[in-house]
């Protein structure tokens, strides 16, 4: 497939790239391809990066980012997403993508996956490919497990298979969170690699959790938070258990590690309550955020 583009070299597209939390994450089994089948409930939150896209006449594809831990080449999922489009559609036009990071890197918040999804959306517009969301999702699944969620225009979604089979949930709940990200990186491959899966059948049905989420029952939502990866994450970084206990002592509705960590979040009844907890934890931690459902 070959498609020549004639995007104006002065055109610039700016898009927001939000983070996510996993409020429910059960690991079912290891797949033949080395990945794991999971059941998860995604929440899109208002902690966001910003990506800008601009054509260039040189034909070069370049990523720009001031964050020292963001790769600018093939290890960046934005680069991978772009190269898939360039290859399949014979794109000759160059592009510069600038990433302004606010989402902590390798924190269990899917910042890199969100950036890749945003790149698919932005380059689809910049290169005038006119791909449908279904087509973009097929590319997202080639890039990474969490990427597809960010192509769905929803606050909440159920993720199955690798987390890349996504169904939006018609839930209006808007939660407030206190979010603490210790300054350490936790990579999902290492966390999943340390997982010991039980052979017995586990309760992996998210239906009850989703029911309470839909009713905005904060006490039940907090009680039913689950992340099968927590045990491995704490084994890799025992200090996270102390952080969890400290956060619990400040009385949020529930506390959990998001995804493969190390980000720890709590659910609060109000923004004011989250701000109160932030003020206390900011004395000890430099990356503390008050966030809500987006």
Contacts of 161 (CB under 8 A, 6+ apart): 37, 38
Measure the CA–CA gap between 71 and 116, rounded to whole angstroms: 13
Candidate list 49, 54, 146, 278, residue with the active-site label: 146
Q: Is the distance from CB of 257 to CB of 264 less than 8 angstroms? A: yes
Note the Cα 226 to chain centre separation in Å: 17
Could you identify the residue written with the tokens 């006490």?
A: 219
What is the per-residue burial (b if ≥16 Cβ within 10 Å, else e) of 153-168? Answer: ebbbbbbbbbbbebee
Cα 180 to Cα 86, 106, 220: the distances in Å are 38, 13, 22
Q: Is 20 a catalytic residue?
A: yes
Measure the CA–CA gap between 209 and 5, rounded to whole angstroms: 46
Q: Is the distance from CB of 63 to CB of 99 less than 8 angstroms? A: yes
Pair of tokens at residue 39: 């059941």
Measure the CA–CA gap between 182 and 77, rounded to whole angstroms: 23
Q: Which residues are catalytic?
A: 20, 146
């Amino acid at each position: 497939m070959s498609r020549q583009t004639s995007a104006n070299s002065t055109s610039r597209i700016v898009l927001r790239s939000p983070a996510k939390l996993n409020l429910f994450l059960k690991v079912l089994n290891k797949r033949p391809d080395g990945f794991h089948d999971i059941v998860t409930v995604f929440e899109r939150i208002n902690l966001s990066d910003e990506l800008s896209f601009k054509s260039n006449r040189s034909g070069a594809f370049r990523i720009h980012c001031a964050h020292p831990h963001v790769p600018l080449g093939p290890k960046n999922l934005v680069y991978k997403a772009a190269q898939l489009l360039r290859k399949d559609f014979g794109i000759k036009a160059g592009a510069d993508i600038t990433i302004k990071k606010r989402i902590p890197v390798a924190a269990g918040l899917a910042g890199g996956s969100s950036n890749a999804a945003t790149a698919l959306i932005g380059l689809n517009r910049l290169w005038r490919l006119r791909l449908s969301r279904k087509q973009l999702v097929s590319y997202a699944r080639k890039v990474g497990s969490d990427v597809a969620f960010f192509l769905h225009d929803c606050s909440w979604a159920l993720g199955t298979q690798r987390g890349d089979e996504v169904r939006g949930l018609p839930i209006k709940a808007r939660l407030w969170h206190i979010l603490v990200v210790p300054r350490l990186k936790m990579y999902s491959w290492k966390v999943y690699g340390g997982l010991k899966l039980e052979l017995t059948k586990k309760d992996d049905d998210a239906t009850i959790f989703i029911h309470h989420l839909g009713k905005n029952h904060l006490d039940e939502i907090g009680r039913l938070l689950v992340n099968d990866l927590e045990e491995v994450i704490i084994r890799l970084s025992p200090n996270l258990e102390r952080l969890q206990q400290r956060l619990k002592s400040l009385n949020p509705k529930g506390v959990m590690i998001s995804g493969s960590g190390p980000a720890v979040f709590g659910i609060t009844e109000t923004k004011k309550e989250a701000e109160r907890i932030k003020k206390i934890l900011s004395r000890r931690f430099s990356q503390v955020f008050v966030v809500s459902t987006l």
